[in-house]
Amino acid sequence: MTYQHTLASPATIYGVGLHAGARVHLRLSRAPANTGIVFRRIDLEGFTIEARAKNVARVSYATSLMKKGVLISTTEHLLSALAASGVDNVFIDIDSLEVPIIDGSALPFWRLIQQAGLKQQRARRTYVKVLRPVEVVEVNRRVSVFPADRLRITCRIEFSHALIGEQSMDFVPANGGYEAEVAPARTFGFLEEVERLRNSGLIRGGTLENAVVLTREGVMNPEGLRFPDEFCRHKVLDLIGDLALLGHPLIGHVVAERAGHAMHYALVSRLLREKNSWTLVECPQVETRPSSRPSEAFAAVTGVH
């Protein structure tokens, strides 16, 4: 059996919000068992917003939470690092409406959590174990979850850009590798979208230091890409963060094809509604297998090669 974990010590990070562009102070601290992941707006007298699907507000360019009109935006990278680190319970004190973007990846948050360390708690961890398939389809995009003996993520993306094209990744978080293979992958966007997004009041804090910006021929970032398939890896990073909105770790095989935040959230919502498709279990450790290989699993499940 596995037990719940919180942080062993507090940890603090500073940065700028990607969309609002405001300076942000964020502090992670220990929380009691069965608390979950809870944001506290310290600029609003500690108003609390739980990182649960019921509080999701916007899911277009970022996953945002809202409760009684109070917003926390761009949560997915931090949630991804917390989930991958095995943090069940944590208070996240923040003095603005947006989680800092830092370098556009989850790696700074992962390192912050490792620095703080984990503390085992007495309460047992419970998992959402998938019993039957659940699927969300929108034209040529889909995201599904199937029964499995652990969390497995198979992701495929397709963009009409020379540096992206079709990319796929198969990743099993329990096998390790998140720090090296997923966490460093940065958020990305296209140069032709920048002006439109800024006119909409978004990406005011965006720079080449916190996002990969694609031109028609390549990328604007002087250092280039961290991985040839950094774009697909970042989609896996986002998906891990969005799945944290279930409120429990997931045991199932998630297959995402051309999906994004909105579809991730739709899958989480449908899974929670279809209560006969899953059960809560206390899960023993399972044997690990190799991960992050290009996707035989994706082809087997979806028929796409």
Which residues, in sequence order, are CB contacts of 81 under 8 Å at separation 6+?
106, 109, 110, 112, 113, 183, 241
Q: For 11-20, 189-198, 235-244, which range has the lowest pLDDT when averaged over its residues?
A: 189-198
| 151 in Cβ contact with 251 (< 8 Å) | yes
pLDDT in the model for residue 167: 97
Q: Give strand pairing partners of 17.
A: 100
Residue range(s) of every CATH 3.30.230.20 domain in the chain: 3-124
- pLDDT score of 116 more than 50: yes
DSSP secondary structure string, 276-294? GGEEEE-------------
Residue of 77, 234, 261, 264 marked active site? 261
24-74 pLDDT tens trace: 999 999 999 999 999 999 999 999 999 999 999 976 678 999 999 999 999
Domain 127-302 grouped into CATH 3.30.1700.10: yes
What are the start and end residues of each CATH 3.30.1700.10 domain in the chain? 127-302
Q: Which fold is adopted by the domain 3-124?
A: Ribosomal Protein S5; domain 2 (3.30.230)
Q: Which residue type does 254 have?
A: V
Instruction: Find all residues with CB under 8 Å of 83, minimum gap 6, and list them.
Output: 173, 240, 241, 243, 244, 249
In 10 A of CB 299, how many CB atoms? 14
Is residue 286 over pLDDT 90? no
Q: Name the H helices within the chain.
A: 76-85, 107-116, 191-199, 230-243, 261-273, 296-302
pTM over 0.85: yes
pLDDT digits (tens, 9 = 90+) for 169-211: 999 999 999 999 999 999 999 988 887 877 877 778 888 999 9
Concerning whether 261 is annotated as a catalytic residue, the answer is: yes
Tell me what the mean pLDDT of segment 153-172 comes to. Answer: 96
pLDDT of residue 59: 64
